[in-house]
A and B are shown apart, each in its own frame.
Chain A
């Protein structure tokens, strides 16, 4: 394991080093210590390496990730794993707002709670939250799955497209065009697989599924007065 002390090495230097690793690199296991809430840590990784961040971290950690596994042993700021393409990001503590925003693929696991707008505009990423999520989560979520083992805040799935939302706890309220939907065997299978991959021990049958009522997809003539 290669250990880098962020008190001694500038973040830009370590980010460039991680981003520049060749496909056949042997430097596959990293640990970053003393992160002290730095922003944009371990962003833009492209190789299947594993990076452990030992402490609390700031905004946009592990953003745009491809192939790498990034584990944050602490709390993280706004926009963790934003626009992730593939790979895996694990947050051992709580996450702030907009976790997994616009993510295109890969798996984001948050073992604590997530703040507001978790999975906003997600486009294929799978997000599993062991705790609860804040208001406006899954806002305009396009595809992928958002699994919430705890409760969901107000306006869950507002203006949602085709992402699938699974909630075990209470939902404070559903946003515009978001409705509860029937859990089919294929959804249950998918949910089980996601919980397994996230290493979370939860009974898939206790979850309810939410998704789009598809009423906002097309213009409706009754709404003419609004224009």
Chain B
């Protein structure tokens, strides 16, 4: 079982409050997921030519400064690192590709939670309220954020199997459900150059959408293709640099509620997570229809 939340701000005046609202939404899903939580927040963009990575190592005393220094020396670029719990936010004054390659080659003990110029990703064990406070979610401004809370019913509580999955720059996916054709799809995606980090079915969905987007599909087109190619149960919520999407399978047995007004669009597994959003009393609230693509864009 798990809980999903997503908030996409249409009114830029609300950006300073993003983290505060998403924290409340995430805590609303505590009963659906008390074991671990993950968040992807789109905030504080780094300038063009730079990259931002969220990194993880379970050791709270990991020498992050040393890592950033070595990276800077190896690539001859300026770096900046900021530790948060067992995560660190690394900013490098170069595109992400060489940073990713260097980390893969030299530091297999580091897990890359997400990268891009905008998105930061934090996943950790504990109640959603504890995870949110550990990483200062309430203080994060930004345009949109997606969160996931997990109740481990079939496998261990670990961060690598936690959502959101982040298969490409500034892109994340959370999934409630299970896919039945993920093995075939994984093989197909491998043949098309996608590399996998886990055996998780949700990672397959994430890389599937990343592949479609990389091939030039719009968010709408990628989701529509997913309806044809992904078999199983799913409620997806996906974030891109400037987009937000929600999709349910044709049977729609995994819960979802959408709410929208002039200022924001919000998605959650249950209404409880939407109950405290500003002006929710007057928002349009509905259950997303089966096999129907919902997308929003900042532009």
Q: With A36-B275, A56-B275, A96-B257 in contact, do A75 and B285 touch (Cβ < 8 Å)?
A: yes
Q: With A36-B275, A116-B290 in contact, do A58 and B285 touch (Cβ < 8 Å)?
A: no
Task: Say yes or no for B286: interface residue by CB 8 A criterion.
Answer: yes
User: Are A96 and B287 interface neighbours, CB within 8 A?
Assistant: yes
Q: With A96-B257, A97-B252, A116-B252 in contact, do A58 and B287 touch (Cβ < 8 Å)?
A: no
B 257-290 contacts with A by CB, 8 A = 257, 270-276, 280-281, 285-287, 289-290
Q: Which residues of A contact B286 (CB under 8 A)?
A: 75, 94, 113
Task: Say yes or no for A78: interface residue by CB 8 A criterion.
Answer: yes
27 A-B pairs within 8 Å (CB atoms) are namely A36-B276, A37-B28, A37-B271, A37-B272, A56-B274, A56-B275, A56-B280, A57-B271, A58-B272, A59-B270, A75-B271, A75-B285, A75-B286, A77-B257, A94-B285, A94-B286, A94-B287, A96-B255, A96-B257, A97-B253, A97-B255, A97-B287, A113-B286, A115-B252, A116-B287, A135-B252, A135-B290
Task: Say yes or no for A55: interface residue by CB 8 A criterion.
Answer: yes
Q: With A93-B285, A94-B285, A116-B252 in contact, do A58 and B271 touch (Cβ < 8 Å)?
A: yes
Expressed in whole angstroms, the Cα–Cα distance for A56 and B273 within the complex equals: 12
Q: A23-42 CB contact bits vs B (8 Å, 1 = yes)?
A: 00000000000001111000
Task: Say yes or no for A138: interface residue by CB 8 A criterion.
Answer: no
Expressed in whole angstroms, the Cα–Cα distance for A59 and B276 within the complex equals: 17
A 83-100 contacts with B by CB, 8 A = 93-94, 96-97
A 4-59 contacts with B by CB, 8 A = 36-39, 55-59
Task: Say yes or no for A119: interface residue by CB 8 A criterion.
Answer: no
Task: Say yes or no for A63: interface residue by CB 8 A criterion.
Answer: no
Q: Which residues of A contact B281 (CB under 8 A)?
A: 55
Q: Which residues of A contact B257 (CB under 8 A)?
A: 77, 96
User: Are B272 and A36 interface neighbours, CB within 8 A?
Assistant: yes
Which residues of B pack against A, CB within 8 Å? 28, 250, 252-253, 255, 257, 270-276, 280-281, 285-287, 289-290
Expressed in whole angstroms, the Cα–Cα distance for A134 and B256 within the complex equals: 14
Q: Which residues of B contact A77 (CB under 8 A)?
A: 255, 257, 270-271
State the majority secondary structure of interface residues on B.
Answer: loop
- Least CB distance, B23 to chain A, in whole angstroms: 16
- B256 and chain A: residue at smallest CB distance: A96
Which residues of A pack against B, CB within 8 Å? 36-39, 55-59, 75, 77-78, 93-94, 96-97, 113, 115-116, 134-135, 153
Q: Which residues of B contact A115 (CB under 8 A)?
A: 252, 287
Q: Which residues of A contact B255 (CB under 8 A)?
A: 77-78, 96-97
Q: A37-B274, A78-B255 are in contact. List 13 more A-B contacts (CB 8 A).
A: A37-B28, A37-B270, A58-B271, A75-B271, A75-B286, A77-B270, A94-B285, A97-B252, A97-B287, A115-B287, A116-B252, A135-B252, A153-B289
- B287 and chain A: residue at smallest CB distance: A115
Q: Which residues of A contact B290 (CB under 8 A)?
A: 116, 134-135
Q: Which residues of B contact A116 (CB under 8 A)?
A: 252, 287, 290
